[in-house]
Structure 1
Amino acid sequence: MSTNQPDARQLRTILIAVSIALMAVIASVSGLNVAQTHMAVEFGASQNTVLWIINIYTLALAALLLPLGAIGDRLGRKPMLIAGLGIFGVANVVAGLAPTAEVMIAARVAGGVGAAMIMPITLAVITSTFPEEQRGKAIGVWTGVAGGGGILGMFLSALLVDVADWRWLFVLPVALVVVALAMTLKVVPNSRERSAHSFDTIGALVSTVAVIGLIFVLQEGPERGWTAPVTLISLAVGLIAAVAFVAWELHRRDASLLDVRLFRERGLAGGSLTLLVVFGVQAGIAVVLFPFFQAVLGWSGLLSTVAMMPMAVMMMAASGLAPKVTARVGARSTMAAGIALAGVGLVLMALFVSVDGGYPSMLPGMLAMGIGMGLSMTPSTEAITGSLPREKQGVASALNDVTREFGTALGVALLGALLATGYRSAIDGKLDGVPQGAADTAREGIANAVEVSGSTPSHAQQIVQAAQQSFVDGWQQAMWAGVAVMGALFVYIALRGPKDSDPVSVSSRRPS
């Protein structure tokens, strides 16, 4: 590891560099969502192909986080970050110029590989460089960018689509990469693990198969059907690989990719579970918010994204505040308070959101959600990274990131499915007298209902009102499910979370 301790100015510059790199990765996760119709028209692509263009990036990113985080620990974190930025930047240039959907998909895969090299290293640089007394604040900034960056990236992407062309979406990550690369070359110190053991190749391969199988199920299940053969096969492969990974890591022990026995520790288990649930709820909320803004309130994509910004701002501000709160009351109390506040936000949205109430009926719940998630994310991240030794920080950071990606995919799949089921159940009794074809289309979703209402003028108002009210009914079901999950998490953290008397980070006490 580097022996020269950077001064305060250098530490700030390092934090800015890795935050910009992280922002490029996070913005690319959600940015293309605003350009689905544009890609479908320009490439002549089906909706399934468009979804693959969007999802393949996240799939590659999640699958390779753990292996590439471990390789970064061994080869050096700075070289890995530089290589990742280079691959990621070139991939986005190719995507921006892609003449066909096939080239676009290949570029998105390459972008996911580059992102998997970048994301765990950004956090590992912080945990291996910053002194313990400043580490919490730096992690707070990192978690703020990781949590709010997706919404900010979507806003900038929607703005680019509105004022220019959808291909300009790729200018944003490329510009961020150029800045991050220049700063990384200049200020980011190198650090690496010195291990006498060979790299756990089998563990890396099996973990990749497990993550691909399980993430694929969550991404494709809603589209293909949860009982479709490809979904069930993917689920079986993912679960078998996950069990095999745990068995292999227990067998390999000291030379393992990830010491799974560490999940017995309160910090690692509590932090991982909290991030899984919090990011799942956040992602699920985002999925159901946009149809509300666009189909119920009739807003544009850009205005809908702007409407999400208060939650993102609160989340980022609370993430920065969380280290001070943790220092005063302890990690477990801070995490529990954040979870409780996020749960209150869900309750507010379940109780008060209505068609007539519009955006003001939603805003208090969004603000409470943002603050609660920000408070819980920072100590959770620090609990995870603090559970592994300093030389394994690439693995620790990758585990943190994999947990976030799983949570996101799980939340989108489950809350989206609950909303869709609640919508279909509620609208069935509201379409009496509507022609059969139009009624069947309206049952598919609120966007379909709004579209088909234009072709049946005599029933247009009935269809739109039925769809809007049914969407709110389905929304409430999804929110109450989120409340139940957050309540269970609150009880778990209150009983089994990191002890408030324990240091949040233990990595500095372990030899590197």
Structure 2
Amino acid sequence: MSLNQSPRADAGPAGAPEKSEPDARQRRTILIAVCVALMAVIASVSGLNVAQPELAVEFDASQSTILWMINVYTLSLAALLLPLGAVGDRLGRKPMLVAGLIVFGLASAAAGLAPSSEVMLAARVVAGIGAAMIMPITLAVITATFPEGERGRAIGVWTGVAGGGGILGMFLSAALVDVANWRWLFVLPVVLVVVALVMAVRSVPDSRETSRHSFDGVGALTSVAAVVGLVLFLQEGPERGWGEPATVIALVVGVAAAIAFVVWELRRRDAALLDVRLFRERGLAGGSITLLAVFGVQAGIFVVLFPFLQVVLGWSGLLSTVALMPMAVLMMASSGLAPALAERIGPRATMAIGIALAGLGLALMAAIVSVDGGYLSVLPGMLAMGTGMGLSMTPSTEAITGALPRERQGVASAVNDVTREFGTALGVALLGALLSAGYRSAIDTRLDGVPRDRADTAREGVANAIDAAHTAGPQARELVRAAEESFVDGWQQAMWAGVIVMGTLFLYILVRGPQRPVRTDAEPEPVDTVAE
């Protein structure tokens, strides 16, 4: 089916009959199909977080192994997004989407039935590969199918699912763990995959890039090495220590591979996997930097919020996830409203408003949070943050996809997705480190009179301190209060750092943000299409 939005329809291969463009009803079905597929991928990023104790008991595994079960999925996903997005452009986006759904679904089922930690780790790696086949194609299908006047609204829905899907996934996962057990976590992605697969086979059209050049294998390999090295550095740094040999080696490999990738892509020019010169353009640079910062801050907020809700307030994992839902709902709603606002005032102004609201939310969470204030002391900041993120994400994504030609939308989508994954890893590492450092510094001044062994335990984290308080006798209440207040101090330090990031980003977007696109009467030349 032709994905070109010109009045004519293209014939498929071997004299296949011509097909008309997707009508409004079919476009809605296509949008639902790719968003369901995206939800399966996003939900699996965060789902296992709620079942860490159960996994440790089931497999008699260390905390390090459990973290690898969680992180190896994100690692393989992020590393393969760019090359698999380019492969999808060449081989056909629908075949890649269908194959990815099958791989991802089978791997998720294997993880749910895993008899050992080794099988679980292998299944998570394969699931990450399947997710990397799916994620860039979902956005590429939207940008290649929807006409210009509807594309922004469709991308708004996609970004809402991408931004809020993680919270919704955690909620459903926590509910499944509470009412059943951790193995039921994988029922959710399998069900979503089946629904998406049926809808994709029936409704999603195919398109592909016609290229005169061979696939950029060197660019693909160096991009994988760069992403693996840098993400490993960000994931392992807080756990192992930033100066440990393994952490430093990961950083060196990642930086060296990134430099090699840039040098090679500049030499390849027309045949490059990703023309890095495009980052000189406002749209690609501004959109990428915004998503990097916004998703970094969002991930950092979750690192702070969950211990506050679960340890300081004593809430269950399910209730803590429910507490995040207002933020997710506003994020998804404002993502849908952002295209209309961008149409009226321009993408740069819309992004700037969103970034300013996100910064305001962080400032509110830093200024009014307190142990005694509880959930209501963080709710206003969460609401402002969710609204701001939604307003900034959609025009950022549209700026990235609009910077590359239509036949390279798999690569454009992969750039968008890699930026999100890097931002998430960066936010967890840096804001998590600031929280930990602020907590340790604050609690050191509140441990006078506490026995040394319990004081040393309390310095490890707020959860450790509250656990140590159970055997602290008459000093228990004092130790708990010291840990809770110290956590709030560390929270404030992390949030003010986020405010500085958002303030810097706000100024950058005002100066170098994407400009309003110039409308044209004609769509781009059609790409090679496959008749359905």
Task: State TM-score, norm by structure 1.
Answer: 0.99
Q: How is 1:161-172 mapped onto 2 (pairs within 5 angstroms)?
A: 161-172=177-188
Is residue 144 of structure 1 aligned with residue 157 of structure 2?
no
Structure 1 counterpart of 2:145: 129
Q: Deviations over 1:129-166 (max 9, x none)?
A: 00110000000000000000000000000000000011
Conserved 8 A contact 1:390-1:507: no
- Alignment deviations for residues 418-465 of structure 1 (CA, whole Å, 9 cap, x no partner): 000000000001111111111100000001011111111221101100
Q: How does 1:85-484 map to 2 (within 5 A)?
A: 85-484=101-500
Q: SS in structure 2 opposite 1:430?
A: coil
- Partner amino acid, structure 2, of 1:377: M
For 1:108 and 1:180, the matched residues in 2 are separated by 20
Q: Which moved more, 1:455-464 or 1:319-328?
A: 455-464
1:15-74 per-position Cα deviation (integer Å, ceiling 9, x unaligned): 000000000000000000000010001100000000000000000000000000000000
Residues 507 and 221 of structure 1: is their aligned pair in 2 closer, same or farther, counting only changes over 3 Å? farther
Using the alignment, how far apart are the partners of 1:258 and 1:16 within structure 2? 29
**1:506 Cα offset (Å):** 12
The Cα shift of 1:503 comes to: 4.0
Alignment partners' CA distance in 2, 1:457 and 1:195: 73
Matched, 1:39 2:58: no
Which whole-Å CA distance do the structure 2 matches of 1:276 and 1:89 have between them? 29
Task: State the 4+ residue runs in structure 1 displaced beyond 6 angstroms.
Answer: 504-507
CA pair 508-265 structure 1, distance change in 2 beyond 3 A: farther
Q: Residues 266 and 508 (structure 1 numbering): CA distance in 2 closer, same or farther, change over 3 Å?
A: farther
C-alpha deviation, 1:110, in angstroms: 0.2
Whether the 8 Å contact between 1:210 and 1:237 is mirrored in structure 2 is yes
- 1:57 matched to 2:73: yes
Q: CA RMSD in A?
A: 1.2
Q: Matches of 1:505 and 1:293 in 2, distance apart?
A: 50
CA distance in 2, matches of 1:472, 1:510: 56
| Deviation for aligned residue 1:408 | 0.3
Residue 378 and residue 131 in structure 1: after superposition, are their counterparts in 2 closer, same or farther (change >3 A)? same
Unaligned stretches of 5+ residues in structure 2: 3-8, 10-19, 528-532
- AA paired with 1:15? L
8 A Cα contact 1:450 1:464, kept in partner: yes
Establish whether residue 74 from structure 1 lines up as the match of residue 86 from structure 2: no
Q: Is the 8 A contact 1:389 1:508 kept in 2?
A: no
Q: Give aligned-pair identity as a percent.
A: 74
The letter for the 1-side match of 2:403 is: S
* SS of 1:177 mapped into structure 2: helix
Q: Which amino acid aligns with 1:303?
A: L
**Shift in Å, 1:499:** 1.7
- How far apart, CA to CA, are the structure 1 residues paired with 2:378 and 2:353? 21
Q: Contact 1:73 / 1:391 at 8 angstroms: preserved in 2?
A: yes
Provide the C-alpha distance between the structure 1 equivalents of 2:121 and 2:345, rounded to a whole number of angstroms.
47
**Quick one: structure 1 residues 333 and 462, their matched pair in 2 at CA, closer, same or farther if it must change by over 3 Å?**
same
**Partners of 1:66 and 1:105 in 2: CA distance:** 23
The amino acid of 1:253's aligned partner reads R
What is the one-letter code of the residue matched to 1:126?
I
Secondary structure, aligned partner of 1:99: coil
- Are residues 507 and 319 of structure 1, via their aligned partners in 2, closer, same or farther at CA, if it must alter by over 3 Å? farther
Specify the code of the residue in structure 2 equivalent to 1:255. Answer: A
Where relative contact order (Cα < 8 A, 6+ residues apart) is larger, the structure is 2
1:227 maps to amino acid: G
Describe the superposition over 1:243-300 as per-residue Cα deviations: whole angstroms up to 9, x where unpaired.
Answer: 0000000000000000000000000000000000000000100111000001111100
What TM-score, normalized to structure 2? 0.95
Going from structure 1 to structure 2, the CA distance change for 1:394 and 1:243 (only over 3 Å counts) comes to same
Match of 1:417, SS? Answer: helix
Q: Gaps (5+ residues) in structure 1?
A: none
1:316–1:374 CA contact under 8 A, matched in 2 = yes
Aligned residue for 1:386, secondary structure, equals: helix
1:36 aligned partner, one-letter code: Q
Measured at CA, do residues 505 and 287 of structure 1 come closer, stay the same or move farther in structure 2, by a change above 3 Å? Answer: farther
Provide the rounded CA distance (Å) in 1 between the counterparts of 2:87 and 2:374: 49
Shift of 1:8: 0.4
Question: Hey, what's the Cα distance between the residues in 2 that align with 1:457 and 1:44?
Answer: 32
How many residues align? The count is: 511
Tell me, in whole angstroms, the C-alpha distance in 1 between the residues paired with 2:360 and 2:392: 14
